[in-house]
Structure 1
Amino acid sequence: MNTQVGISPQFYLTAPARCPYLPGHMERKVFTHLIGPKAPEINDLLTQGGFRRSQNIAYRPACERCQACISVRILVNEFEPTKSMRRVLATNDDVIATELEAEPSSEQFTLFRRYLDHRHQQGGMSEMTVLDYAMMVEDTHVNTRVIEYRERVEGSGIGKQGQLLGVALTDVMTDGTSMVYSFYDPELEKRSFGTYMILDHIRTAKQRGLPHVYLGYWVRGSKKMTYKVRFQPQEHLLPAGWTRFDPSLYEEDV
């Protein structure tokens, strides 16, 4: 297989596999390789076209009888946190976010394993080793950053702060940021840390003048994905293009 990506990348189709979100469904994906000097430009275009990145692969669903997976992006400049989101921000006022190069650490992996063992014991990532984690972080040809979230330690100065609470693997693009994968301490229920990390990405995107935060796929009918439509306003990628989402039209799904 030729994996050299030029201006026009080659696309491939996976074999059918069990859908991880909707019981009784099968999924297929179309994918291409993101390598070489054009990878950042291609990643931008494909993300805007509904693709997601995993290592050096860009993919999107290509299921024959199902269109439940819908790409979501938050409209950063119009976003205003709800009352409950403001409480989340206040609760996590003691958290410091540090943006780093896409390099893994043993501390990150320890937290990653705790997160998987608590939240995704039966998922496709449940058997990932330290080498698998390193590849997930390092195998990128685009502008990828690791954001570490730590407890603030008073008087510690610049540099590492306290306990590592969460990590986000994020691509920085020309029109926004894309949250590739994030994980956090599973004992932080009272902090609503997953919500907090999304709110922090909205804040940093706005500071950079970037109009979007891409959240990946909202899967209609999957309860584990309902959190994504809480961040309004947002757009969904439909056959007619990016369309402003109206939650009232999908009350049974949100």
Structure 2
Amino acid sequence: MTHHQTDTPQFFLTAPSPCPYLPGQMERKVFTHLVGARASALNEILTQGGFRRSQNIAYRPACETCKACVSIRVPVDRFQPGRSFRRVIEKNRDVIGMRVAPAPTSDQYSLFRAYLDARHAEGGMADMTVLDYAMMVEDTHVETMLIEYRFRGPDSAITGAGEGPLIGTALTDVLSDGLSMVYSFYEPDYIDRSLGSFMILDHIARARKMGLPYVYLGYWVAGSRKMAYKARFRPQEHLGAQGWEPAK
């Protein structure tokens, strides 16, 4: 059995592999394991330093010839939705998100598979099985949660829960200074609802209610169509050599 040191984390470097965002580029990542009693504290420090979490691993790009990946976060108190985002909110007035324990369900996996097949059929997660999905949700030592999105029902005002089929899910870490969106997916047939943007807007609203200053959105890559939507959430801060700074 392999034992990982929890008091002093060890960092490792991956071998070069094709970049999933920029054609012709090679990527490398530096990573460490998030295990033990100090996993949550380490996850917070690393997230604030530009790392992302996948199961019990925290990683960030360490590419030798490219610095295109930029960590971004939205300052909650300064964010005000513009006209296009207000339309997204209005279109989804009949949708409600409910926080649930980080436990996988068959409904989640069915939606996850439909999302991958429609949006990322050639991506690195395309072959994930139900066991892989369960590990993505459960294999963690940090404070995390799931937000399930369903349509509002007659009793939603009382129960706080939606009804009917699951149309969106977000796996989100809870930090002392914000919410970090680890992975989200949604019903691909509802393209006109912009559910991906709606879930980010909902997380900004949740962070505001929780008194948390930031929503961490991971990496933005200039020139990548897959990442273009993140640039629309302004104002936002980018992590640079001098720390977090307002994006220009």
**TM tier relative to shorter chain:** over 0.9
RMSD of aligned residue pairs (Cα, Å): 1.3
- 2:48 is matched with 48
Gaps of at least 5 residues in structure 2 are none
- 2:25 is matched with 25
- 1:60 is matched with 60
Asked if the contact 1:101–1:145 (Cα under 8 Å) also holds between the matched residues in 2, the reply is yes
- 1:250 is matched with none
Task: Tell me, yes or no, if structure 1 residue 233 matches structure 2 residue 235.
Answer: yes
Structure 1 consecutive aligned stretches of length 4 or more whose deviation exceeds 3 Å = none
Deviations 1:142-167 (A, max 9, x none): 01101000011224652551221100
Deviations 1:217-247 (A, max 9, x none): 001221221111111111000111111001x
Partners in 1 of 2:219 and 2:3 — Cα distance? 26
- 1:163 is matched with 165
- 1:252 is matched with none
* Secondary structure of 1:123 counterpart: coil
Asked if the contact 1:12–1:32 (Cα under 8 Å) also holds between the matched residues in 2, the reply is yes
Matches within 5 A, 1:212-223: 212-223=214-225
Shift of 1:4: 2.2
Amino acid aligned to 1:147: I
The number of residue pairs the alignment matches comes to 246
Partners in 2 of 1:14 and 1:202 — Cα distance? 33
Partners in 2 of 1:21 and 1:62 — Cα distance? 15
Q: TM-score, normalised by structure 1?
A: 0.94
Q: TM-score, normalised by structure 2?
A: 0.96
Percent identity, please: 61
- 1:177 is matched with 179
Asked if the contact 2:152–2:162 (Cα under 8 Å) also holds between the matched residues in 1, the reply is no
Task: Tell me, yes or no, if structure 1 residue 140 matches structure 2 residue 140.
Answer: yes
Matches within 5 A, 1:72-87: 72-87=72-87
Deviations 1:67-96 (A, max 9, x none): 000000001010000111001101100111
Amino acid aligned to 1:185: E
Partners in 2 of 1:223 and 1:149 — Cα distance? 25
Amino acid aligned to 2:105: S
Asked if the contact 1:71–1:218 (Cα under 8 Å) also holds between the matched residues in 2, the reply is yes
Asked if the contact 1:3–1:33 (Cα under 8 Å) also holds between the matched residues in 2, the reply is no
Gaps of at least 5 residues in structure 1 are 247-254
- 1:12 is matched with 12
